Amino acid sequence: MKERQRRTKILATLGPATDAPGVLDTLFKAGVNVVRLNFSHGDPSGQAKRAAEVRAAAARVGAEVGILADLPGPKIRIERFAEGKIKLTMGERFDLVADANAPAGDQHQVGVSYLGLPQDVTAGDVLLLDDGLVQLQVTDVQGERIVTKVLNDGVLSDRKGLNKQGGGLSLGALTERDKELIGIVAKIGVDFIAVSFCRNAQDMHDARQIAQQHGCDAQLVSKIERTEAIENLVEIVEASDVVMVARGDLGVEIGDAELPGLQKKIIRESLAQNKVVITATQMLQSMVESPIPTRAEVLDVANAVIDGTDAVMLSAETAAGAYPVRAVEAMARICLGAEHQFEFDTDFEAAQRNLQRADQAIAMATMFLSEHIGLGGVVALTESGGTPRFLSRFRSNMPIYAFTRHDGARRQMAMMRGVFPISFDSRGLTPREAARAAIRLLVENERMGPGDRVVFTSGEHMEMHGATNTLRLLEVGEDGRATGLGEL
């Protein structure tokens, strides 16, 4: 019996905990599909070294692993304190100073990185520091000085993040540093670029234009983590290749109570627009220090899978945690269990409303067949990954084997739920010859066996992007060869 394959993909953030020799190989064997390079930490040369090590490790273990570069974005932070940290008491005054030359912070004030903050706040606004652990209420704005009242006791240390409750900060998504980094990650050859704190579609268009100027064809990931992004969700998803539910800053701005519903809304909108979606932030946070997850974390990951996410992400758990490999193994087990216990009902009527091209119609017909006649899998010959992406949107239980000769396309498909990219060069083969060769490869790798039925999709001109127009129903014979049952 063929072993069930996990369909939900796993992202792992790299950091000091993954730098030891052999750790990447073990992570990839444990199930990591995409790695995240967090450019908010470390220097570009160090991240470039990690990217090279990822490519080498993936080649050693025979895995298709994508690389995601996460841009820092305009994260607002307080500056440093003279003593490293202070303790604030509820009710006392504490000032934020928007001055590049502000002195080191003390018990009474600290500088902020965003010099436009005084123009974005008024008396009564609540500012949330360190993911909401410290809350300040604005009482007055005096030029570059923001006077606040401390709303709760708490400890504040260097460079903690700052958010405005309810959103409303005017700074753009792409800083000058981000623009420089896009050029750097283009040279590194990453597969995805994540735009932090995007507000609207224009932020994504700007990032895409800069990437194209550098000859970079990485897919763009919009990180939904601002109130403004929720208000402009439909247009942001449309302008993105991939969407990330970035629950950290989003939860701080909108409040914890709103977060579960918004996670479902973002995933639902992404699926409706045929976009890949990632769920991220603190999914197995306790495993930074613990060898096992909490039951609440197990349910959180499982619910994201049931919501329909393509991928789940680990941050500090793998980057700086004590148990990076165990965290990946736990994530893989939870995803597989959730997939086994919950099946999606494909809404073909809704899918029909989004049909725009022949290859999408072929994809829908393929999944309709898989729902009604029982298949061992779907085989798609693809140039860009477009057909497997659309097939994946149906959330069928059928594995989708995506065959392509393009390295970049395979690594980008590594993010798609239920899609298993395979290196395959169909040049010089007819569609029928390619079908037989692909099935033979699956049989040799024990992913298919005698009696399995499979739907095979391709284009008559197999080297053209978006040219899928053929569907074949095949069956694997006792000799491992594919025989035709029908063609559309």
**pLDDT surpassing 80 at residue 343:** no
pLDDT tens string 90-121:
999 999 999 999 999 999 999 999 999 999 99
Q: What is the mean pLDDT of residues 249-271?
A: 96
**pLDDT surpassing 60 at residue 350:** no
348-487: which CATH topology?
Answer: Pyruvate Kinase; Chain: A, domain 1 (3.40.1380)
Pairing mode of beta strands 192-195, 162-164: unpaired
Residues facing residue 401 across a β-bridge:
379, 420
Decide: helix, strand or coil at residue 146. Answer: strand
Query: And the tokens for 177?
Result: 């540093």
DSSP-derived secondary structure for 432-473: HHHHHHHHHHHHHTTSS-TT-EEEEEE-SSTTSTT---EEEE
Do the Cβ atoms of 277 and 266 come closer than 8 Å? yes
Do the Cβ atoms of 370 and 449 come closer than 8 Å? no
Average pLDDT value over all residues in the chain:
92
**pLDDT surpassing 80 at residue 469:** no
Domain boundaries, the chain: 9-73+172-339, 85-164, 348-487
**pLDDT surpassing 50 at residue 488:** no
Task: Look at residues 410, 414, 440, 413 and name the one whose alpha carbon lies nearest to residue 423.
Answer: 410
Lowest mean pLDDT among 32-41, 64-73, 351-360: 351-360
pTM of structure: 0.92
**pLDDT surpassing 80 at residue 370:** no
Q: What is the mean pLDDT of residues 5-30?
A: 98
Counts for the chain of helices (H) and strands (E), in that order? 17, 22
Phi, then psi, of 281 in degrees rounded to 5: 95, 115
End-to-end CA distance of the chain, in Å? 30
pLDDT of residue 480: 80
Residue whose pair of structure tokens reads 């570009």 in the numeric block: 44
Active site (catalytic) residues: 36, 77, 223, 281
Would you place residue 82 in the very low, low, confident or very high pLDDT band (cuts 50, 70, 90)?
very high
* Dihedral sign, Cα of residue 295, residue 301, residue 303, residue 306: negative
Would you place residue 1 in the very low, low, confident or very high pLDDT band (cuts 50, 70, 90)?
very low
**pLDDT surpassing 70 at residue 482:** yes
**Cβ-Cβ contacts under 8 Å for 171 (sequence gap 6 or more):** 74, 76, 114, 116, 120
Do the Cβ atoms of 166 and 135 come closer than 8 Å? no
Angle CA(421)–CA(55)–CA(463) in degrees, nearest 5? 40
Q: Kindly state which CATH superfamily the domain 9-73+172-339 is placed in.
A: Phosphoenolpyruvate-binding domains (3.20.20.60)
pLDDT of residue 374: 75
Lowest mean pLDDT among 157-161, 210-214, 357-361: 357-361
Residue whose pair of structure tokens reads 């690389």 in the numeric block: 67
SS (H, E, C) 234-294: HHHHHCCCEEEEEHHHHHHHHCHHHHHHHHHHHHHHHHHCCCEEEEECCCCHHHHCCCCCC
Do the Cβ atoms of 85 and 157 come closer than 8 Å? yes
85-164 and 348-487: identical CATH topology: no
Lowest mean pLDDT among 159-173, 176-190, 196-210, 365-379: 365-379
- From residue 141, how far is each of 114, 119, 120, 191 by CA, in Å? 15, 9, 10, 44
- From residue 47, how far is each of 116, 179, 181, 238, 379 by CA, in Å? 31, 17, 11, 30, 35
85-164: which CATH topology?
Answer: M1 Pyruvate Kinase; Domain 3 (2.40.33)
